[in-house]
Structure 1
Amino acid sequence: MNQGFAGFYRQTSYQDLAPTVHWAQRHERDFGTHWSRRIYDFQLLFVVRGKIRVTLQDKTVIVENGRILLIPSFLWHTVEVISKPNVLLFGIHFDFFGDLSVWSDSDIIVEEPCDSERTFCTMPVIQNQPLLDLPPEGIDTPPSIIHLMEEVIAEWNDRKAGYMMACRGMLLQMFTILARSSEEQSRTGIFQKYEASIRRLVHEMEKNCAHPWTLKEMASYLNVHTDYLSRLFKARMGIGPNRYLQTLRHKQAKQLLRETTLSIEEVASVIGYNDMHYFSRIFRKWEGLSPLQFRKLSQRL
């Protein structure tokens, strides 16, 4: 996960999301201004004009105009204005579940040493993926996000009847757009340098799907950690590496069952399964038929 945000996740579903805005402003900050702190909630920060230097824990990045980043709860972060004469920012503080009651800025910003009884807001995990998994340097901001941020800021400051409901609806729209944009930009940008290595790995897997591939061995083709390999591979291929390997083996198994007289045990061995019974269970799960039933059906057709 992009920012090392460990320990404050919540397994949930889309239906359980109930985001609440705690603060929303457009603000200018002069060159050299900086702040270092932790927050209880999350912040979306859009650089309208200028440039900032952002440190999240031990990673420092430059964020230029036109990009939006997510500052998570709990993590130490520092923001410094490095463009002259100033920077213009849109900022929205929020949570995903209505976790936090906010009456003043002190309810958002952690007073150190931290009050251990206070709960940091959690990131929703849906279908094993964090809802917002933006890289530390942020992403290029879609025009629709800029419009929605302006509307949220206006609603939150005007405070007309129903403004919290309006803000919640717009936040949900923003989450959807940001999640899709992050995935799309990851495919075309951040992962581009691994394209050749992924193609080489895929070629080797297709050539020898019976090999006892491990995530560690696959990751060595890209020289990355196993967790990052899974993310890179899924972004490029649409499914994870282990799932892709199963797909290759299943495809070869069907071909062998149709075109050869190899026994079920021999077919299992050829494609990399030492246990015939395990192979049969996996095959039935994929095909809805046992290997023997599939062979008989193929012969009739």
Structure 2
Amino acid sequence: MIDISGHLREYRREIGFSNYDVPLEVNCCGQQSFLTRDFSKSRPNGRLDYQLIYITRGCGYFNFSGKEQVVNAGSIVLYRPGEPQLYSYSFKDKTSAYWIHFTGSDAEKILNRFDIHSGYIGNNIQIKDIFQEIIKELQLKKTGYSIVATADLEKMLALINRSMELEASEDRNDLVLERLIIQLNQSYNNAWSVTSMARYCNLSEGYFSHYFKEKMGVSPMKYLANLRIEKAKFLLSESDISVSNIAASLGFSDVLYFSRIFKKAVGESPTAFRNALN
């Protein structure tokens, strides 16, 4: 594991530090990469301060309200004081993440002002650079380092807010939907599901399903089924590949199931469709 960090104080505590004598203060900041072994953190009672995690590569496994959720690269996770922190990283995912702990009497107000919450912000080089700057300030401890680190944190929160607004915009959603359509056309034989499609777009399943149908006129799985049927019709008409091999090439493990799906969509079985062309 690669672990680079900087700290406001010379000593550390697992429960963190709270300081409400100042509006905002950075306690510590770091970067971790998990390349050789797994890592897990269990703080059932949380910490005294806030924690913000930014996953830049791979993914993390976070337990929210008793349910494990995969959080992919490009996402942030926010923990407030006293909130249980249960998460882990697998070295197989080659995960890298930045983290920062902060406190202060105005911390909650500032988070609300910038509408900071767990979610997707994408790959943001500016935010990565600010994390690096804060780490450096806390390591070198030059004159005014705490003030500079706090100012950097506020700038980071403003940029996170900007990124979240961009990711939530209709233009962004149109772009990722276009990317998904291209991906589906290239890998229609993969085991796609609504969950995996939504994850690809970094959208919630409910919103993704509604947005997809609104834009494409059919549900995600119906679009995929239609795509596979069109590919099947092409292969049946332009090749002598057996029906079972065509089914397998389209991602169907059961040729009978494929034949039922094909007949329901086309009105006749794959074999009948091919014979009618001769």
TM-score, normalised to structure 1, is 0.45
TM-score, normalised to structure 2, is 0.48
